[in-house]
Amino acid sequence: MKAIVTLFVSMFLTLASYAEVSNSEKAALIQLNKSTHGESWIIKWDLTAPISTWHGVQLLNDKVVSINLAENNLSGTIPSEIGYLKSLKILNLYKNQITGSIPQTIGDLNSLQTINISFNRLSGAIPSEITYLSALQEIDLFMNFISGNLPNSIGKLSNLQVLSLYNNEITGEIPDSLYDLKQLKILELNSNKLTGNLSDSIVNLSMLENLSLFDNNIHGQVPINIEKLQNLAIMNISYNNFNGFVSKKLAAKDAMSMTMINDKGIAVTLNVHSDKDKALASEE
C-alpha cells in the first residue's frame, strides 16, 4: 500500500511539473529567446526542460508573471508575441544589447506593473499603446536611442510612480496630460531634445520627489509653483533655455543653481534677488 501511495505522489509531482503555461505563452517565450539570440545569452534556456526551470521566468498559477533577463547578453529585437503574456507583471531586460523599437503589442500586457528596458539600443518612438496599461507603476527606458514625442495620453497611467527616460533623443513638448500623474514620484527626462514650456500645472504632481529636466531645450519662465511641491527633494532643470523670474528659494533647489543656455549658446546663471520671493533672470 505504501509503495502505491509513493508511486501516486511521484506521478502527481511529475505531471504537475509539466502542467505549466498555455501554448500561446510558451510560444511567446520561445520567440523571445529566438529573436534575442538565446544561443548567445550568458545564462541560456533549455527549451526541452520545464519552463519553471528557465532562468528569469517566474510562474504563478501556470501563468508567466515575471521575466528578468537583466545583464544576460540579449541582442536582436523584442518580438510582437510578447503581447501574449497577459499575466506578466514585471518585464526586466535591463542592460543588454536589444535593438529595434518597442512593439505596439506592449499595450496588450494588461497586468504589467514594471517595464525596464534601460541601457539597451532601442530606437523609434514610445508606442502610444503603452498608455493602455492602467496597472503600470514604473517605466524605465533610460540610456537608449528612443526618439519621437512622448505619448499625448500618458496621463492615463494613473498609477505611474516612476517615469525614467533620460539619455534618449525624445523630441517635442511635455504633454499636458503628464501633469495628471498624481502618483508620480520620479520624473527623469534629462538629456533629451524636449522643447516648449514647463507648465504651471506641475503643481499637480504633489507626490513628486525627483524632477530632472537637465540638458533639454525647454524655454519660458520657470514655474514658481514648483516651490509648492513639498515632497520635492531632488531637482535639476539647468542647461535649458529658461528665462524670466525665479525666486531665491527656487534657485536653491536646483542642483546646478539655475545655469541656463542663452540664445548665443553660452552658459549663464540666473541672477537671484536678495528678496527670497523675487529674482530676475539676466545674463552676466
Global pTM reads: 0.89
Choice among 14-23, 186-195, 225-234 with the minimum mean pLDDT: 14-23
- Determine the Cα–Cα distance for residues 147 and 122; give it in Å rounded to an integer: 9
Q: Taking 50 as the threshold, does the pLDDT of residue 281 lie above it?
A: no
Look at residue 284 in the predicted model and tell me its pLDDT: 39
Q: How many residues are recorded in the chain?
A: 284
Cell of 124: 523609434
Chain segment 39-96, per-residue pLDDT in tens? 999 999 999 999 999 999 999 999 999 999 999 999 999 999 999 999 999 999 999 9
Note whether 261 and 240 are within 8 A (CB): yes
Cell numbers found for residue 34: 529566438
What is the enclosing helix (H) or strand (E) of 249?
A: helix 248-253
Q: CA 104 to CA 154: how far, in whole Å?
A: 15
What torsion, rounded to 10 degrees, do the Cα atoms 90, 95, 96, 98 define? 70
Q: Is the four-CA dihedral 117, 123, 124, 125 of positive or negative sign?
A: positive
Whether residue 106 is predicted with pLDDT greater than 60 in this model: the reply is yes
| Whether pLDDT at 277 is above 60 | no
- Cβ atoms of 183 and 160 within 8 Å: the answer is yes
Q: Which pLDDT score, from 0 to 100, does residue 135 have? A: 98
